[in-house]
Amino acid sequence: MSPRRRKWIRIGLAGPGAAIVALVVMAGMALWLPGGAAGIDNLVLPLVLVPLIWAALFFHACLDRRLGRVALVAFGLFAVHGGLVADKFLDRPQPAAEARK
């Protein structure tokens, strides 16, 4: 792969790629974090951590020598947390007859 193409892939992973993955991780974190005493900790903590997640993904994309590893980490986080969000939205309510059992 040419150095010019590698540069643009790295820019894509560090710029819009890191922002999109950070937002998807934020949405997925709300589903696996515990609710806390007030029941809102699982909503506030991901909002506070989004800049940290974005910075970690950005610096990983900028500083890692291997683009494959950067893409694998970003895609893995995106797939896992995107799957959690998709599962939550596709969760169908059970019929009343089965709920009473």
**H runs (alpha helix) in the chain:** 3-12, 18-32, 41-63, 67-90, 96-99
Checking if the pLDDT of 36 tops 90, the result is no
Structural element, H or E, at residue 33: none
* CA neighbours closer than 13 Å in the CB half-sphere of residue 73: 17
With bands split at pLDDT 50, 70 and 90, how would you rate the model's confidence at 71?
very high
Angstrom distance (rounded) from CA 32 to CA 83: 12
70 neighbors 12 (Cβ within 8 angstroms): no
Q: What is the pTM of this model?
A: 0.83
Checking if the pLDDT of 68 tops 90, the result is yes
pLDDT for residue 27? 92
